Amino acid sequence: MAAPWPEGVDRVVLPETDSTSAELARRRPARPTWLFAWHQTAARGRRGRAWAMPPGNFAASLGYTLADEPARIALRSFVAALALHDALAVLGVDDLTLKWPNDVLFRDGKLAGILLECPEPGRLIVGIGLNLAAAPDMGAIEPGAVPPAALAPAGHAIEPEQLLDALAPAYAARETELRVEGFAPIRAGWLARAARLGQTVTARTMSRTRTGIFEDVDVEGHLILAQRPTRHRIAAADIFFAEAPCS
């Protein structure tokens, strides 16, 4: 059973919007707010990529203010991934892993994506899209990327607002853990659920592509990629489990 809705956090439910994160940025609520939509017309993922949302899938964003520096704000991608893992586990879903920097996998397929945005200093919006009912068409997926996955075809019948009810308290608990205990327990929890840790992956940044062993995530959330004898500390990249296609 999910924990109660977190105290002091508002909830907005819309039939449709262009993007839950864009709508939150326009509204600028004074209190922490989860904004959920049954349908999005212009959802987006990292680097401006479109995010497909078949009917019955999940889309919500959390907006709140915080005084942390940008590097610490970025750690909320780990908070969000762990919270989503926690919420799905409460709802009976297993076979979940976490893909650096911001994806949740189900049976090695991409189930959910997380997008962090700061529309203004000190304000964070955490956008989450998850394939509850159906996965997007393979034609919309970047070559070499992890194929999409969905829960309903695997027998998990979860309603979108049911997931929201589990996710909001899970996020609040992980946020409190970060604030009180620091990044160490978040990092340990994330690594315990990490996909392909200790295995070969390819990291592609805007400037270059490297293939090596996914060795660790450091205390600042960077991926450590080992190419003997060198260890590369990567702040942001697209990660491929096979050799990345040429761009």
Among 192, 211, 232, the domain-final residue is 192
The CATH number for 219's domain is: 2.30.30
| Assigned domain for 3 exists | no
Q: Would you state the pLDDT for residue 45?
A: 59
Are 137 and 15 in contact by the 8 Å Cβ rule? The answer is no
Domain holding 19, by residue range, is: 10-192
| Assigned domain for 133 exists | yes
- Is residue 97 domain-shared with residue 131, that is, in the same domain? yes
Q: Which residue has the higher pLDDT, 19 or 247?
A: 19
Predicted confidence (pLDDT) at residue 236 exceeds the cutoff of 70: yes
**19-29 tens-digit pLDDT:** 999 999 999 99
- Is residue 83 domain-shared with residue 37, that is, in the same domain? yes
| Assigned domain for 245 exists | no
| Assigned domain for 246 exists | no
- Is residue 99 domain-shared with residue 208, that is, in the same domain? no
DSSP for 17-55, please give it.
Answer: BS-HHHHHHHH--SS-EEEEES-BSS-B-GGG-B----T
118 CB-near residues (< 8 Å, 6+ apart): 70, 73, 124, 125
Q: Would you state the pLDDT for residue 94?
A: 96
Are 136 and 52 in contact by the 8 Å Cβ rule? The answer is yes
User: What's the pTM value of the predicted model, to 2 decimals?
Assistant: 0.93
| Assigned domain for 4 exists | no
Q: Would you state the pLDDT for residue 51?
A: 65
- Is residue 188 domain-shared with residue 209, that is, in the same domain? no
- Is residue 162 domain-shared with residue 114, that is, in the same domain? yes
**192-229 tens-digit pLDDT:** 999 999 999 999 998 999 999 999 999 999 999 999 89
Give the single-character DSSP code of 70. Answer: H
- Is residue 89 domain-shared with residue 120, that is, in the same domain? yes
| Assigned domain for 160 exists | yes
What are the φ and ψ backbone dihedral angles of 11, each rounded to 5 degrees?
A: -135, 125
How many structural domains are present in the chain?
Answer: 2
- Is residue 228 domain-shared with residue 120, that is, in the same domain? no
**38-87 tens-digit pLDDT:** 999 987 755 556 667 788 999 999 999 999 999 999 999 999 999 999 99
- Is residue 130 domain-shared with residue 217, that is, in the same domain? no
- Is residue 88 domain-shared with residue 17, that is, in the same domain? yes
- Is residue 122 domain-shared with residue 141, that is, in the same domain? yes
Predicted confidence (pLDDT) at residue 245 exceeds the cutoff of 60: no
What does the alpha-carbon distance between residue 213 and residue 74 come to, in Å, rounded to a whole number?
Answer: 23
| Assigned domain for 247 exists | no
Q: Which residue has the higher pLDDT, 138 or 129?
A: 129
What are the φ and ψ backbone dihedral angles of 171, each rounded to 5 degrees?
A: -65, -45
- Is residue 97 domain-shared with residue 213, that is, in the same domain? no
